[in-house]
Amino acid sequence: MPDLDARARVILGENDRGGFTVPTSGLYPFQWNWDSCFVALGFAAFDEDRAWQEIETLLSSQWADGMVPSIIFHQDDPGYFPGPEIWATGRTPHSTGITQPPVAASCVRLLLEQARDRSAAEHRARALLPKLLASHRWFHEARDPSGSGLVTTIHPWETGMDNSPAWDEAMARMEVAPDLEPYERRDTGHVDASQRPHKSDYDRYMTLVELFRRHGYAHEIEALSPWRVADPCTNFLLLRADRDLAWLAEQFGEPTRQIQIWITRAEAALPRLLHPATGHPHALDLVTGELAPTPTSAGFLSLWAGLGDAATIERLEAWIAPTPYPVASVAIDDRRFESRRYWRGPTWAFANFMIADGLARSGRPDLASRIQTATRTLIERHGFFEYFDPLTGEGCGGDSFSWTAAMWLAWASRDRAGG
Catalytic entry in 16, 162, 169, 187: 162
Amino acid, res. 85: E
In sequence order, what are the residues at sequence separation of 6 or more whose Cβ sits closer than 8 angstroms to the Cβ of residue 335?
Answer: none
- Judged by beta carbon, residue 157 or residue 337, the one nearer ligand DGY is 157
Measured at the CA of 300, the angle between CA 106 and CA 408, to 5 degrees, comes to: 55
323 closest CA partner among 353, 344, 340, 346: 346
- Judged by beta carbon, residue 34 or residue 319, the one nearer ligand DGY is 34
- Judged by beta carbon, residue 201 or residue 394, the one nearer ligand DGY is 201
DSSP strands (E only) in 98-228: none
Give the nearest distance from C-beta 157 to ligand DGY in angstroms.
4
Of residues 1 through 30, those in contact with ligand DGY by CB under 6 A are none
Give the nearest distance from C-beta 162 to ligand DGY in angstroms.
5
Q: Are 279 and 315 in contact (CB under 8 A)?
A: yes
Q: For residue 157, state whether it binds ligand DGY (rule: CB under 6 A).
A: yes
Phi, psi of 387 (to 5 degrees): -155, 175
Give the nearest distance from C-beta 59 to ligand DGY in angstroms.
18
Q: Is 334 a catalytic residue?
A: no
Q: Which residue is nearest to ligand DGY (CB)?
A: 157
Residues linked to residue 16 through DSSP beta bridges, in sequence order = 21
Give the nearest distance from C-beta 201 to ligand DGY in angstroms.
10
Catalytic entry in 222, 386, 389, 399: 386
- Judged by beta carbon, residue 157 or residue 387, the one nearer ligand DGY is 157
Question: Whole-angstrom Cα distance, residue 19 to residue 21?
Answer: 7
Give the nearest distance from C-beta 313 to ligand DGY in angstroms.
30
Question: Whole-angstrom Cα distance, residue 354 to residue 350?
Answer: 7
Give the nearest distance from C-beta 89 to ligand DGY in angstroms.
14
**Pattern of binders to ligand DGY over 110-149, x per CB under 6 A?**
----------------------------------------
364 closest CA partner among 310, 299, 305, 291: 310
Question: Whole-angstrom Cα distance, residue 19 to residue 104?
Answer: 16
Of residues 259 through 298, those in contact with ligand DGY by CB under 6 A are none
- Judged by beta carbon, residue 70 or residue 153, the one nearer ligand DGY is 70
User: Residue ranges of the alpha helices (H) in 215-256?
Assistant: 221-224, 232-251
- Judged by beta carbon, residue 70 or residue 207, the one nearer ligand DGY is 70
How would you classify the pairing of strands 31-32 and 284-285? unpaired
339 closest CA partner among 356, 322, 354: 322
- Judged by beta carbon, residue 70 or residue 312, the one nearer ligand DGY is 70
Indicate which single residue of 48, 54, 144, 162 sits in contact with ligand DGY (rule: CB under 6 A).
162
Indicate which single residue of 16, 169, 187, 386 sits in contact with ligand DGY (rule: CB under 6 A).
187
Q: In what order do the strands lie in the sheet with 71-73?
A: 31-32, 71-73, 94-95
Q: Is 162 a catalytic residue?
A: yes
Give the nearest distance from C-beta 388 to ligand DGY in angstroms.
17
Question: Whole-angstrom Cα distance, residue 111 to residue 22?
Answer: 20
Question: Whole-angstrom Cα distance, residue 216 to residue 237?
Answer: 27
Report how many residues bind ligand DGY under the rule CB under 6 A.
4
Indicate which single residue of 70, 95, 99, 106 sits in contact with ligand DGY (rule: CB under 6 A).
70
Residues forming the active site: 162, 386
Sites of contact with ligand DGY (CB under 6 A): 70, 157, 162, 187
